[in-house]
Structure 1
């Protein structure tokens, strides 16, 4: 796709493979795993889950967004932003790659199948022997196999626990969606902060049953608030680091905060056992800022269609009660975040959509090794506290401590922190109090979600924050008239603007609920703006939205 002059082939290659510190498992293990039919787990480069072949390196053994990091012989497989934020669509048999677009991958199925593959090795002696031979080589002795078994047991205990607690029932998400907030909370509060030897607090993990669609990344760095509930400040490199560090915790970063009285202020070391690649996270943010919104390849400009788009622009500019969109979705100056670029206002409003994700922000967890810990301007965690407060402390603690890695004893309560990157400047200077304000932990009233600027919205189906509406044409209908279920796949409908009704290579179905069950996680309710427009007005508005 044409995504602007700043998005180059070398940027795409880096975006597809840049390590951010995610560690799913050793690469040798994943290469040795088998599917139930005996084929290698990596046989099709995971394209069966909707992940995409890396066309910048067609011989790569892993798809777009999967990384290899570490020294030869000890490499680990991880994930990076592109796995969840690259998509393909097909129009009349022709595929189009959209960088930064919401993936249509089935992450849920990948996680469950990986569990099945490792369970077989855990439970079957012959399967383990075959696995060990592939990992260690033909000459592996008993000592080496025993050491491998111990490593696998530790990995399995942690992975099986979080998957079984997060996904107790299959098909909670479906393709193109995940409950990222629950998975981050489960990861940080469930696997990392326990007081026992394995650090696990099973009671802190809950079913991840508030699925949302992946957001698009173009212009994401400019919004002054982020996350679907809008609880995180955004718009400069430091705030982006907060956002991205929390994200990498949720996709297999290794992270264990260690209580340490020698560390001033914190009494906890957040960086000693933290695999997050801070330089890599900064590099990814630089790349994301270069991705432009895609230009639709199906626009046919004629005097008639241009006039229709102009009419649509006028409708877009109306007040919401007249079917307009601009008050929430046009670029408007936002809060000051950076000298380098103007941020855009992110309207956060309850428009009657599914409410389940909002409930996550009030979730309480045991704080384990972090009980009684805090930092200036943050407050102190109780023995139980909000999961979002635990996340905020671990993210802010790591960011504040990172520049002092190896010399944490030199930290001073009054010292400012210099972090690299602010739009090419040598450093961005922030305080712990300012960082604390970057993540809101109070419960919102109602069920408000963020409203993004709609450039490239044509390429972001399905719609609403939970992906419950397949096309923009359906979104202009009352909730009662929207599809109760639809197939998810790459086939694209330029007329309805979104997922085609027929999906020859369907990756699965999303079944929705109506307004009587708004808290289901799958409700198609709400956002009934434009539903009263005439058929001609809807055609005009869709023509305009196609061109954004």
Structure 2
């Protein structure tokens, strides 16, 4: 009996030690070290006022109800250092300025895109993750940093599932909150800082509110983990945007049976010039600017109430209350119209070789312009006649471009049961939604696609938000964007956007599966099957982030579902299976890259010399 008790105690002790080790590593995620740049260069993309408006205008997201002043008061799981100190948040890839100080727009002195909004009912200020958090980039070279406004973020924001090797912000935030709640000394310090003169009388209510938010965070992490919703790790600079929005709206808010495996992470697309596009999103599935922004806000965490307190559908006149902020979304959209593509900073990355770029221009005309050159349409051929210019976006079928199909396939194939909402087709016909390539008669409420379902939900959310804000039809037409309806098209392909500023947006392809432009212009067999992501250090010759192994990095494996690096290939032989052009020699690849550094920069483009352009050839006839 004594031996049994000793054995049992030993087992319990080992289990506790094991649990402690696991908690330690989960609470201390695997992250890159942060080295502050000696200088941060802002490019001439817009004014400082417009930049700050973009960085810190809220859109209505709530991060599970996290209050703005809480994040400043949170401590690290172990010790008393603050969780939200800039040098720590920068390790997740969030962007800071070595010289930044608290301001009226950013009183807590948080990274780009961390802002706040005030709830109209409770008066509470919620932490609000804005579009700038995911659509602002930075490149570093020899100790200097270049900010890319409207570019692609390289942070680790999306994942909530705790792992021993992961570096997700959601994991770290959840652990910080859990250690604060369950450690009386930590919670006392936290409460004293948050409540100030209202301590201790407000302590119990604060603890209750804090626990509700913590429970939501932990429940989301558990739900994502035990359902295996996100098997393809996103790592730095990616999120399964379409899958997460669908799971949030159709699963979290509506019905557990609607959760779908989301295994198609995508990079964050750059935002300059998007107001000119006839269709946006990677697959060209969205048309109206306001609907695109409302959908994004819902996916990032804006509150949404699709059912009443009894779990029943909401009456047509009351659909659907949310926390999205229409005036702020309109401000962001109008501000982004002023954003210019970044120009290659020669003082930091080196002079452009103009003779080489001249050769590259001829190669661009031969190999790239057909899909990627802007295609402005005359007024009578535009979706929005008043939009000038309006560029027609070419959506290239997967059967031609050959890039990883998982994103486009998931959007086209996933179906959701929304019958609990109690909609009728007669009600939907009154909404300002236009289906391209489909009709309302074909809609099945027990099996609706994500694009169509989100379009109708967004239409109701917009209607309610405009109504609550007292905004009339004339002003609404302007705020929606050129009077456009909520358009939906579902194509198995990816949008080929103009390439001005493309040099500033690594890694490449929609899923970030190619680390630099040189490899993108190379045959697939020359591309890296695995490479490391999360290092901001830039390679100005091959044009991409450094991709060799480093501490705290994320290993992107292109053999994993959703991570494929095939397609968009330049290789001699048949024009099939994603081969879109002839093989380019290494010198030709470098020449084309040199031209992409100046594309859109009128000052440098005018200095190029004319070089004869080879005709594009379709390749050999491989049929039969």
Matches within 5 A, 1:326-337: 326-334=369-377, 335-337=382-384
Residues 53-87 of structure 1: per-residue CA shift (max 9 Å, x gap) = 15784335211111022289832111111111112
Matched, 1:88 2:138: yes
Residues 27-47 of structure 1: per-residue CA shift (max 9 Å, x gap) = 232233332223322123621
Per the alignment, residue 216 of structure 1 pairs with 270
Mapped contact 2:290–2:479 kept (Cα < 8 A): no
CA distance in 1, matches of 2:478, 2:91: 38
CA distance in 2, matches of 1:394, 1:244: 13
Q: Max radius of gyration: which structure?
A: 2
Per the alignment, residue 159 of structure 1 pairs with 217
Per the alignment, residue 112 of structure 2 pairs with 64
Aligned equivalent of 1:535, options 586, 600, 607: 586
Per the alignment, residue 191 of structure 1 pairs with 252
How far off is 1:391 after superposition?
1.5
User: Which TM-score applies when normalising by structure 1?
Assistant: 0.82
Residues 468-511 of structure 1: per-residue CA shift (max 9 Å, x gap) = 1010001111222211222231111111011124576x652242
Per the alignment, residue 357 of structure 2 pairs with 309
Aligned equivalent of 2:468, options 405, 427, 431: 405
Matches within 5 A, 1:65-464: 65-70=113-118, 74-107=124-157, 108=159, 109-121=168-180, 128=187, 130-137=189-196, 140=199, 144-166=202-224, 168=228, 172-193=233-254, 201-233=255-287, 239-258=288-307, 267=316, 269-271=318-320, 273-298=321-346, 305-318=353-366, 324-334=367-377, 335-349=382-396, 350=398, 351-361=401-411, 362-367=413-418, 369-373=420-424, 374-376=427-429, 379=440, 382-405=445-468, 418-419=475-476, 421=478, 429=483, 434-435=485-486, 438-440=487-489, 442=490, 444=491, 447-464=492-509
User: Which TM-score applies when normalising by structure 2?
Assistant: 0.73
CA distance in 2, matches of 1:217, 1:53: 20
Describe the shift of the 1:186–1:501 C-alpha distance in structure 2 as closer, same or farther (beyond 3 A).
closer
Describe the shift of the 1:283–1:55 C-alpha distance in structure 2 as closer, same or farther (beyond 3 A).
farther
Mapped contact 2:403–2:565 kept (Cα < 8 A): yes
The unaligned stretches of length 5 or more in structure 1 are 194-200, 234-238, 319-323
Per the alignment, residue 28 of structure 2 pairs with none
Larger mean CA deviation between 534-543 and 276-285 belongs to 534-543
Describe the shift of the 1:369–1:154 C-alpha distance in structure 2 as closer, same or farther (beyond 3 A).
farther
Describe the shift of the 1:371–1:389 C-alpha distance in structure 2 as closer, same or farther (beyond 3 A).
farther
Mapped contact 1:258–1:269 kept (Cα < 8 A): no
Matched, 1:18 2:57: yes
Per the alignment, residue 196 of structure 1 pairs with none
Describe the shift of the 1:119–1:369 C-alpha distance in structure 2 as closer, same or farther (beyond 3 A).
farther
Is the partner of 1:405 in helix, strand or coil?
A: helix
Mapped contact 1:329–1:454 kept (Cα < 8 A): yes
Mapped contact 1:89–1:492 kept (Cα < 8 A): yes
Matched, 1:492 2:542: no
How far off is 1:301 after superposition?
5.8
Is the partner of 2:174 in helix, strand or coil?
A: helix
Residues 164-216 of structure 1: per-residue CA shift (max 9 Å, x gap) = 334657981011111111121122122323xxxxxxx3333344431111111
Mapped contact 2:62–2:301 kept (Cα < 8 A): yes
Is the partner of 1:89 in helix, strand or coil?
A: strand
How far off is 1:275 after superposition?
1.0
Is the partner of 1:98 in helix, strand or coil?
A: strand
How far off is 1:140 after superposition?
4.2
Describe the shift of the 1:406–1:84 C-alpha distance in structure 2 as closer, same or farther (beyond 3 A).
closer
Mapped contact 1:85–1:102 kept (Cα < 8 A): yes
CA distance in 1, matches of 2:354, 2:538: 22
Larger mean CA deviation between 398-407 and 386-395 belongs to 398-407
Is the partner of 2:86 in helix, strand or coil?
A: coil
Matched, 1:472 2:517: yes
Residues 510-533 of structure 1: per-residue CA shift (max 9 Å, x gap) = 42225xx6xx11111111035611
Aligned equivalent of 1:34, options 72, 75, 87: 75
Is the partner of 1:78 in helix, strand or coil?
A: strand
How far off is 1:420 after superposition?
5.5
Describe the shift of the 1:274–1:41 C-alpha distance in structure 2 as closer, same or farther (beyond 3 A).
same
Is the partner of 2:297 in helix, strand or coil?
A: helix
How far off is 1:404 after superposition?
2.4
Residues 75-111 of structure 1: per-residue CA shift (max 9 Å, x gap) = 2111111111112111232211111110111113112
Is the partner of 2:284 in helix, strand or coil?
A: coil
Is the partner of 1:403 in helix, strand or coil?
A: helix
Larger mean CA deviation between 324-333 and 398-407 belongs to 398-407
What is the total number of aligned residue pairs between the two structures? 499
Mapped contact 2:387–2:482 kept (Cα < 8 A): no
Describe the shift of the 1:531–1:475 C-alpha distance in structure 2 as closer, same or farther (beyond 3 A).
farther
Describe the shift of the 1:75–1:403 C-alpha distance in structure 2 as closer, same or farther (beyond 3 A).
closer
CA distance in 2, matches of 1:183, 1:457: 26
CA distance in 2, matches of 1:354, 1:317: 26
